[in-house]
Amino acid sequence: MSVESTSIKPKWQQICEAIQEKQERLKKAVPEAWRVEADASITNPRIYLEADKVGHILSNDELAITKCDAVEILSEIHSGKVTSEFVTTAFCKRAAVAYAVTNPLCEIFFDEGIARAKELDKYLKETGKVVGPLHGLPISVKDHIDVQGKDTNMGLTAWYGNVAEQHAASVKILYDAGAVLYCKTSMPQAGMANETVSPIHGTTKCAYSTLLTSGGSSGGEGSLIGMFGSPMGVGTDIAGSIRSPASYNGIYGFKPSERRLPLLGERTTDSGNVGILVSLGPIARSLRGCELFMRIILNAEPWNVDPSVLRMPWRFNEEKMPEKLTIGVVRWDHFVMPHPPISRALDIAVDTLRKAGHEVIEWEAKEHGLPSGDVILPLFYPNGARHVFDLIDGMGEPWIGPIRRGMKDNPVVQKLRESNQIEDYWNAVVARDQFRVDYAQRWNDSAKLTASGRKLDAIISPTATSVSFPHDFNRWSGYTHIWNLLDYPTSVVGVTHADSKVDTWDYQPDRNNERDVANWEIYKDPSLYDGCPVAISISGRTGEDEKTLKMTMMIDDLLKRAGHGLKK
């Protein structure tokens, strides 16, 4: 190839040649004996979880241990029943299968993870002690969170080759507690999308259907954990980025209040924008895994390293719960109507709570719809996303669909880009604060609506309008971004599975509402979603992270005792 022909290529295409080499290295990082040739005609990834498809790769014991949650795995390792090497190898094998089927990985370093596991096993054998509470536990990490010596690029070719010099604060705490790092997971180009797709890593698919999205922006984490390729991962959430992937992939996720966990070492395209702060949090196979994640990081007093973290120790065990909860239920936001499986899951949750003696009231949520979008968009993109334009257009890189629609072609964002006035940002912050004050008053006044005379303890609501979405669909994010706008801690819990024979729909959308019509149209074939997990969100008030997580555990336990919840 001549110098001339190379020079006229867009920068991103020149980098793509290096990226292609990296993809080949990633493939080679998977031992040949662990490789799977995914059948494109098979749209259900669950088939690749059992022995008849992967029995030549994983033993029965390895298949079993990878279905355990973090707490059980740690008990097995620390008691000497299994080694960290055995556990780590098993999860590496599962991750290799997931890589072939749903594409959730952006960095693979299985060899380093297994070597670390061997060192930890040796230490335990020689001393009879563990290095920390996470001794030997494999943990996955989202792309834009720094892992020493690994690439951090957010799916942007402009940031390709951005190798981290040290661990992010959260990763260092987990590592020092004994965690084993073995992979990083994919996220969408520049983040801020419900679909995990980028020019670097391609498309990450749902762990229940390759025809559906894994969510975003922590979609790699969701898909990997949903495929049993990790027991716990480090995610982030600014508009639903932990909760959507957890919901779509049949696992658990928790978005803490802002500034509860450290963000030092988390790369972002809008550093300095504090209109809506991202929350770092766990995605895991169990709620007790989420609690473990929060406890380990906060017990390390991260505010001493990252001063932006609130000096609030984790007081989960000290949190006293009312004997009977008072819950508000949001059915819809008066903008986009959720699909029948979502409504059925809410009905199941409400019925289960009431039968257990808890009070549930209907909670109107008109401000969750368009009003919340009007307030939050200027906070996300106060300069009209100029920083993202510089990164993508500067490379001549194509815009992926969700990012193009959300930023480049969005008229509100275009107007902000043209204006670019600091006063617009100040006004947006004032609007945010007033929105929060008004909602806090509504919550306080809820005592007038309850039979007990008590204010709400929590609100349950849809996590999305669908159990997942076809690829490149323009999803309405209001059901998740509302809790970021309010800064309310929110968790996700699975209730049931979609069933087209039960989940019929005679709803007619508002023809003047393009979002509602589009959401209605993707449910014309309900069988597309058969078997997919159906989750709900549980939200508490700002700073009530421990209470919110404990309430979620109570509700999850009630659902399971009543015969609901998700199949493994």
Statement: residue 219 has pLDDT above 80:
yes
Cα distance between the two ends of the chain? 52
Q: Is 337 exposed, middle or buried (0-12, 13-18, 19+ CB in 10 A)?
A: buried
Domain 27-304 and domain 326-383+420-561 have a common topology: yes
Task: Report the C-alpha gap between 224 and 222 in whole angstroms.
Answer: 6
198 is catalytic: no
Task: Report the C-alpha gap between 563 and 252 in whole angstroms.
Answer: 18
Q: At what angle do helices 70-78 and 84-101 cross, to 10 degrees?
A: 150
Statement: residue 412 has pLDDT above 70:
yes
Of residues 84, 186, 230, 241, which has the active-site annotation?
Answer: 241
Task: Report the C-alpha gap between 33 and 389 in whole angstroms.
Answer: 43
Contact 515, 465 (CB under 8 A): no
Q: Name residues whose C-beta falls within 8 Å of residue 75's C-beta, 6 or more positions apart in sequence.
A: none
Q: Report the 10 Å Cβ neighbour count for 25.
A: 10
pLDDT of residue 9: 64
286 is catalytic: no
pLDDT of residue 91: 99
State the amino acid at position 129 in one-letter form: K
Question: pLDDT tier at 128 (50, 70, 90 boundaries)?
Answer: very high
pLDDT of residue 21: 86
Q: What percent of the chain has pLDDT over 90?
A: 94
SS3 state of residue 494: strand
Per DSSP, 397 falls in state P
Q: Name residue 183's beta-bridge partners.
A: 108
SS3 state of residue 142: strand
Mean pLDDT of the chain: 96
Quote the tokens at residue 298.
């906060």
Q: What is the mean pLDDT of residues 544-548?
A: 99
Burial readout 455-469 (b: 16 or more C-beta within 10 A, e: otherwise) = bbbbbbbbbbbbbbb
Query: In terms of CATH architecture, what is 27-304?
Result: Alpha-Beta Complex (3.90)
pLDDT of residue 3: 33
Of residues 198, 217, 257, 468, which has the active-site annotation?
Answer: 217
Residue from 207, 253, 245, 203 nearest 226 by CA? 207
Residue from 55, 31, 53 nearest 44 by CA? 53
Q: What is the mean pLDDT of residues 403-421?
A: 92
SS3 state of residue 358: coil
241 is catalytic: yes
Q: Is the pTM of the predicted complex or chain greater than 0.85?
A: yes
Q: Is domain 326-383+420-561 given the CATH code 3.90.1300.10 in the classification?
A: yes
Task: Give the range among 126-130, 172-176, 274-278, 394-398 with minimum mean pLDDT.
Answer: 394-398
pLDDT of residue 178: 99
Question: pLDDT tier at 568 (50, 70, 90 boundaries)?
Answer: confident
SS3 state of residue 535: strand
Each domain of the chain, given as residue ranges in start order, spans 27-304, 326-383+420-561
Task: Report the C-alpha gap between 222 and 277 in whole angstroms.
Answer: 21
Statement: residue 6 has pLDDT above 80:
no
Cα 146 to the center of its chain, rounded Å: 17
Q: What is the mean pLDDT of residues 421-426?
A: 93
Statement: residue 326 has pLDDT above 60:
yes
Of residues 93, 140, 142, 279, which has the active-site annotation?
Answer: 142
pLDDT of residue 232: 99
Query: What are the backbone angles phi and psi of residue 282, rounded to the nearest 5°?
Result: -90, 150
pLDDT of residue 8: 55
Instruction: Indicate the pairing of strand 180-185 with strand 138-142.
Output: parallel
The tens digit of pLDDT for each residue in 47-93 reads 999 999 999 999 999 999 999 999 999 999 999 999 999 999 999 99
